[in-house]
Chain A
Amino acid sequence: MALSSRFRGRWSLPALVVLVALVGAVVVWARQGDDPPPVTKRDAVIDVPESPDSDRAIQLDTTLYLPERTPAPAVLLPHGFGGSKDSVATQATELAQRGFVVLAYSARGFGRSSGQIALNSLDHEVRDAQKLLDWLATREEVRTDAAGDPRVGVTGGSYGGALALSLAGVDRRVDTIAPVITFNDLGQALLPNAARTDPVDTTSPSPGAFAEDGVFKRSWAGIFFSAGLSGGDLAGPGQEAQEPGQDNDGQALNDASAANTAPQQQGAPRPSGPVNGACGRFQADVCAAYTDVATTGQASARTLEVLRRSSPATVTNRITQPTMIVQGEQDTLFGLDQADANARQIAANGAKVKVVWYSGGHDGGSPGPDLRGRIADWMAFHLDGKGSDPGVGFEYTVVGAFRSSGSPSLRNVIAPHYPGLPGGDPVERRAVALADREQTVVNPAGGNPAAVSSLPGLGSALSRSSSISSRLSIDLPGQAAVFASEPFTSQVLLTGASTARLRVAAVPGQPVPAEGAVLFAKLYDADANGVRTLPGSAVAPIRIRNLPADGTPVDVTVTLPGAVRPVESDHRLQLVVSTTDQAYANAAQPTAYRISLASPDLSVPVVAGVNATSDVPTEALWGIAIVLIVCLIAAVVAWFRRRLAADVDPDLAGVPLVISGLTKSYPGGLTAVKDLSFRVEHGQVLGLLGPNGAGKTTTLRMLMGLITPSEGEIRVFGHRISSGAPVLSRIGSFVEGSGFLPHLSGHANLRLYWAATGRPAEQAHFDEALEIAGLGDAVHRRVRTYSQGMRQRLAIAQAMLGLPDLLVLDEPTNGLDPPQIHQMREVLRRYAAAGRTVLVSSHLLAEVEQTCSHVVVMHKGTLVAAGPVEEIATGSGEASFRVDQPEEAATVLRGLVGVHGVAVDGEQVHASLNGTPRAEALQALVKAGVAVDQAGPRRRLEDAFLELVGE
């Protein structure tokens, strides 16, 4: 015991340090297991023909990422517009870590690859990719389905995603694709027209009207073109979109890293390819097409042909591979309608199609780690048969209204399938009535000033705080017609593209532009205060050819931009039709139109689904169970150990107190009590006498079970004392000061103390105890107002509650005044006389002599003397005489029969009379002429005690 306590004291700090170090080591070790598998990279330059039948070759700069184990299925990873193979390095590494051979390459005209940009032309970029498949098939690291047919999937964002679609359409060797934020029809993406006079198929959530003669998406097209000129990756989303469950601060880190890498990409050395002036690295026909549309705002047949040739739409009817289509909800370049068209066209071939809408897009950021992981899951299942089937579910991300530090909170919703695909149900559409009122809108000359909906290309800066970008939109007065719904009574989760029927008429007398009426429709979410939010910041441009100048109205169906938006109760939907938009080529000719609703109902798509939840947290549940079991075991073990602690000696059942060999030593070498043994018999008032620091209080604390002895034991009525031993209920104690709750009265303190013992109230004898305390009315005052003496008396009264068989009082007369001291002595004597036992400690000899029947003298933790006070005080018949002639007196006493042990001590002479009456000795002295000043029993106790105290 002593050893262990010393051990605890001296070693607790080092032990703590070791424990912390161990925990740290375990954590580090556990994390080492998570280290990603190693990935090796090999750069290679692969020659491909410049054009289908050309002898000239161009060089594609590639990097092959090899996983730990080969052969493995391959993933071809084309990059976005303006990027290079370096811009997909992160995703390539991740995929290689998942066990794929990944081929990243710079497309022709980008990065270090030579050649000219032909915009994913089937004759150029797609053939390049086919050559890369040939090359992959020759690599021994790549698993093959047949000779020359590698097991390969294609995924890529934007420009790369379109390549994935086109390649899958023309090359059967591609086993699966995952196009991300890409287009179906580049012509519709850059020259959209969202209005048709004939009906639009609205069975899917986000259909686009895809009508002819679109309005030129000027700002985005310009950004795209300049990205091809300068090589800067302006067109791609500069950063990752936020994902559900992702911390905002984590996003900040990602942003920082994105910001760091961006300049490197832009500063990449320009390749030594041919640069032909204003066309940069674009192929001549592409350059000409852009110049045509950018200058006129209209697409010529040649331009449309260039765009058509670059569009996956031409080959989607041949795609039968499993396809995971990922599209962004914050994308004013390639909206959800493009993904909708891809999904429908591919699913029509009977292919397996999964659609995912995530919170990013060209305005909102590229897929984050979670979504990239799900793309890798898709590849793993469809290329390798690993993992669970990702299925054909439709997932979309709901951007919440909550935006702490600028980023929204998100949740993913999963529906069983993308509505409107073959074999599936059409999407649910709710009719929302709009207030119809014919309004006239004016197109300003030159299309300026123009309404603002989004700021393309600023995506990286603004999209993070979509609260800003979605509220940036400005409609100019006089240019916009507004049709608002009634406030919603319950929340509606708008999921996709709403459609509306508009009636547009020219104002008679106003000219109708030759290129047709250009209008822009958008759907706002307006809250109760009129604060409007434009979901996705997107607008649907409309061009109506041949609008009769006489004012005859034309009815059109308008597909509004696809979005995911929870419209709260009390909010309204607002359909706004304006004549201008900053991001588009507006009509230059000043004119005016009358706008009204052909149908009062707005058709709002709703896709029911369940929130994506993580897997059942089994490890956490197991952890909870283990913790509970450990606690239970600890409780049971403790219970058994307590049961075993009971120790009774029936021979001592009648002895109030036996202390044997009691030792208490503290760590550091201090020994407060050393080998103390004494015994208190029934009916005694025992005084424990010793100077301060003799170990009296420590002994009493051990008696109360407050301190564990280092060695030896204390037995009370035969029961060995341990903490909380039941026999303690027979002891009433007052040790080293009172202990009361200062906020309660003395009376309440005693009542609550007794209640805490759990014993019946009638055993307490409150009235008798309180009478002993003698506090009068003060007993109802708070204890904090008491004087030292009052607390002392209350504490003694508390010790007497229940009339204990052994009353233990430590310095009971401290702080009492003389009459009270007198009374206290009386109390103790008579209490013992009534059949109880009292143990009193004191450092005052007189106190013990006057109060106690027996005494134990302690000094420095050891027993000095023990016995009845009389015996100890008087010794066995010894006497002291104070005389004027000590030597003379000694001689006389030695002469008496039976007297021995005569000693001279100054004026005093001590002698053991040994049965001789003191009076006789006195007489002999007087006879011998010795003047006796004082005669009495020798006070040996005092001598001993003074000696001790005097030290």
Chain B
Amino acid sequence: MKTSGAGAHDTGGVHTDPSAISDLTDAAAHENSSVAPDGSKVGYRAGRTLPIRVELARQLRRRRTQLVLGFLVLLPFILVVAFELGQASPNRRSGGFVDLATASGVNFVILTLFVSGSFLLPMIVALFFGDTIASEASWSSLKYLLAAPVPRHRLLRKKALASGLLSVFALVLLPAVALLVGVIWYGAGEAVSPTGEAASFGSGVYGVALAVCYISVHLFWVAGLALYLSVSTDAPLGAVGGAVLASILSQILDQITALEDLRDYLPTHYALAWADLLSSDVDWSQMARGTFSALAYGAFFTLLAARKFARKDITS
């Protein structure tokens, strides 16, 4: 009637069974509507709303999550193919990250982290965190979650936690696949650091694991910013893009040497501090500063996001 084609098809095949109403009203009549002291239905507990596994299930079934994770699995293979196609001499022992990439499996992981560190990894974190609230707002499902009710602080926390788990999973997945690919192609030899130090395979893997931990912590600032943008806008693209843009801007400013030590205040300034882990005696000072910088920025934006979300009028 209202719509032709699809509408006619819909209404043709699907119709409410008249007995359905009786079933519902019977159920309603028999349902013992008991109420807890806080005014909620018995069975509802704020602390049980939006369990993390539910949020993960909601996110993991999304095509974009699957595509991102798939790409991360694919990237090391793309790099291997690139190295195989190129004329790079195999098993080089000197040069930069890129030259050293084929020295051993661990070096290949280091290269992978190095090339993805400036753009890909911040983008993935920005995607998971920036998209999380804004996409719900854009689907209008946010209001139903809040009216369920999932308390706002809990919704934000659980969604941030799920995004964090996905981000960490992505950050671990990439080096893990790279390590596997690297070991298969380039062997489990000594890891050669750009400063010319050699480390055994085991300590190299340990260093890479610590590097992944550092990268995860360091990208907290991107997560905080993306989360803040995510609660500020109903457009997922705006939130993700804004965070990525901020990261790029910070990297551009970091290139301007005239800013001198003002650059220390840039959130991306310590992005590659994990390279210090590749040396035998690790200098933790840069990483400590990077951790502080990331935590300070991340906490600032996260608190801002929580405050904004707690007071925001949901109109989507």
Contact = CB atoms under 8 A, between A and B. Distances in A.
Interface string A701-735: 10011111000000011110001111111110101
Contact of B21 (A628, A772, A798, A817): A772
Interface in B42-93: 43-51, 54-55, 57-58, 61-63, 89, 91-93
A763 B43 contact: yes
B283 A527 contact: no
Contacts of A719: 38-39
Contact of A771 (B23, B92, B281): B23
Interface string B232-245: 00000000000000
Contacts, number: 347
By size class, the interface of chain B is 35 or more
Given A617-B289, A704-B147, A725-B39, A789 B93 contact: no
Contacts of A790: 10, 14
Contacts of B193: 400, 402
Nearest to A634: B303
B95 interface: yes
A773 B21 CA distance: 10
B36 A528 contact: no
A527 B39 contact: no
A611 B151 contact: no
By size class, the interface of chain A is 35 or more
Nearest to A776: B14
Interface in A727-752: 727-731, 733, 735-744, 748, 752
Nearest to B302: A631
A611 B280 contact: yes
Contacts of B292: 620-621, 623-624, 627
A803 B148 contact: no
A707 B40 contact: no
B39 A772 contact: no
Contact of B195 (A400, A716, A742, A816): A400
Interface string A620-639: 11011001101100100010
Contacts of B196: 398-402, 566, 568
B94 A617 contact: no
B232 to A, nearest CB: 11
B28 interface: yes
Which of the listed residues A571, A729, A765, A778 has the most CB atoms from chain B within 10 Å of its own CB? A729
B117 interface: no
A708 B152 CA distance: 13
Contacts of B45: 758
Contacts of A3: none
A729 B41 contact: yes
A826 interface: yes
Interface string A771-809: 111111110000000111110010000101011010000
Given A613-B283, A773-B16, A403 B95 contact: yes
Interface string B1-31: 1110011001101111111111111111101
Contact of B285 (A398, A617, A826): A617
A768 B141 contact: no
A726 B95 contact: no
Nearest to B49: A758
A884 B150 CA distance: 63
B115 to A, nearest CB: 13
A444 to B, nearest CB: 33
B150 A724 contact: yes
Given A752-B58, A772-B16, A628 B295 contact: yes
B288 to A, nearest CB: 4
Contacts of A250: 257
Interface stretch (A89-97, A286-294, A542-550, A831-839): A831-839
A296 interface: no
Interface in A661-693: none
A758 B51 contact: yes
B40 A726 contact: yes
A624 B298 CA distance: 11
A491 B149 contact: no
Interface stretch (A205-213, A404-412, A594-602): A404-412
B143 A704 contact: yes
A771 B17 contact: yes
Contacts of A398: 195-197
B1 A818 contact: yes
A823 interface: yes
B93 A568 contact: yes
A43 interface: no
A410 B192 CA distance: 14
Contact of B46 (A726, A772, A817): A726
Interface in A521-576: 527-529, 533, 566, 568-571
Given A729-B40, A818-B1, A615 B10 contact: no
A788 B147 contact: no
B168 interface: no
A730 B141 contact: no
Contacts of B10: 778, 786-787, 789-790
B142 interface: yes
Given A528-B93, A568-B192, A613-B284, A717 B54 contact: no
Contact of B62 (A623, A729, A736, A743): A743
A833 B25 CA distance: 8
Given A733-B147, A742-B139, A717 B198 contact: no
Given A624-B288, A758-B50, A490 B40 contact: no
A708 B313 CA distance: 6
Given A756-B54, A836-B28, A620 B288 contact: yes
B21 A827 contact: yes
A71 interface: no
Contacts of B63: 743
Contacts of A737: 140
B57 A723 contact: no
B253 interface: no
B270 to A, nearest CB: 10
Contact of B314 (A630, A701, A802): A701
A934 interface: no
A146 interface: no
B257 A726 contact: no
B148 A757 contact: yes
B131 interface: no
A875 interface: no
Contact of A617 (B33, B38, B190, B284): B284
Contacts of B13: 776-778
Nearest to A249: B257
A884 B146 CA distance: 59
A11 interface: no
Nearest to B255: A249
Contacts of A744: 58, 61
Interface in A471-513: 490-491
Nearest to A715: B39
A15 interface: no
A400 B223 CA distance: 34
Interface in B163-221: 190, 192-198
A10 interface: no
A259 interface: no
A536 B186 CA distance: 31
A725 to B, nearest CB: 7
Interface in B270-316: 279-285, 288-289, 291-292, 295-296, 299, 302-303, 306, 310-311, 313-315
Nearest to A757: B148
B190 A569 contact: yes
B197 to A, nearest CB: 7
11 contacts: A250-B257, A490-B190, A566-B197, A624-B288, A638-B310, A758-B44, A763-B41, A773-B16, A788-B7, A817-B7, A830-B24
Interface of B: 1-3, 6-7, 10-11, 13-29, 31, 33, 35-36, 38-41, 43-51, 54-55, 57-58, 61-63, 89, 91-97, 100, 136, 139-154, 190, 192-198, 255, 257, 261-262, 265, 279-285, 288-289, 291-292, 295-296, 299, 302-303, 306, 310-311, 313-315
